[in-house]
């Protein structure tokens, strides 16, 4: 015999529906350690994936029309926009994060522009080893700027340490292998030019 109350309202399983913005998915989350390893380990190439993922997550969370590919390829024009949106998310959620969004964005843009100008101007005028050394050194301000932005993005997604994305994946290891090749080529070229100049100076 059925003991259920025939006059009771129907009961169904209800799954909570996320709001218009899923805070944990609004931006790309990655731990500082993993970011540094992948960024410097890939000779900076990781930033392409990094920018793409930030804009892809933001587009999905907000259902806005934008091209992650375009904003990745022309990152210097959109870095300030990204930091402003991260800061708006922090403020909107009432989170306190000590940063000035314009500072890391400006450092990134200036470093990228300076790097491009120096590379173009130095072609045929400066030793290859000097250009390669500059390309290595410019990774420092670029990496610093992106790491600062990442810290704010992690905070906006309620994962300050990026614990949800701190382990290396098989794809990450492939990136590191590619980066190792680039590092090897760069260092080999620098060493070869240095040795050639050194031997040339020893000759009478």
Q: Comparing 22-36, 135-149, 188-202, which segment has the lowest mean pLDDT?
A: 188-202
2: left (phi over 0), alpha (psi -120 to 50) or beta: beta
Confidence bin at 159 (pLDDT 50/70/90): very high
**Which helix or strand (DSSP H or E) is residue 77 part of?**
helix 75-92
pTM of the model: 0.81
Distances (CA, A) of 163 to 7, 74, 91, 102: 49, 29, 22, 26
Contact 122, 130 (CB under 8 A): yes
Task: Look at residue 17 in the predicted model and tell me its pLDDT.
Answer: 32
Token duo for residue 165: 């994305």
DSSP annotation of 99 reads -
What DSSP line would sit under 119-186, residue for residue? HHHHTTTS-HHHHHHHHHHTHHHHHHHHHHHHHHHHHHTT-TT-GGG-S--HHHHHHHHHHHHHHHHH
Q: Which residues contact 15 (CB under 8 A, 6 or more apart)?
A: none
The whole-chain average pLDDT of the chain stands at 84
Q: Give the model's confidence band at 21: pLDDT under 50 very low, under 70 low, under 90 confident, else very high.
A: very low
């Amino acid at each position: 015999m059925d003991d259920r109350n025939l006059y009771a309202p129907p009961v169904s399983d209800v799954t909570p529906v996320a709001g218009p913005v899923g805070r944990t998915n609004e931006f790309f989350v990655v731990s500082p350690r993993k970011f540094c390893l992948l960024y410097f380990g890939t000779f900076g190439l990781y930033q392409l994936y990094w920018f793409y993922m930030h804009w892809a997550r933001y587009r999905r969370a907000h259902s806005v029309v934008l091209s992650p590919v375009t904003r990745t390829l022309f990152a210097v024009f959109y870095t300030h926009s990204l930091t402003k949106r991260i800061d708006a998310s922090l403020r909107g959620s009432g989170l306190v994060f000590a940063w000035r969004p314009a500072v890391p964005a400006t450092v990134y843009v200036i470093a990228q522009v300076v790097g491009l100008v120096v590379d173009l101007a130095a072609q045929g005028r400066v030793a290859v080893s000097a250009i390669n050394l500059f390309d290595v050194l410019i990774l420092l301000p670029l990496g610093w700027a992106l790491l600062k932005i990442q810290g704010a993005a992690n905070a906006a997604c309620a994962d300050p340490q990026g614990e949800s994305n701190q382990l290396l994946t098989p794809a990450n290891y492939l990136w590191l292998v590619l980066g190792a090749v680039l590092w090897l080529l760069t260092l080999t070229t620098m060493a070869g030019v240095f040795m050639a100049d050194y031997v040339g100076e020893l000759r009478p």
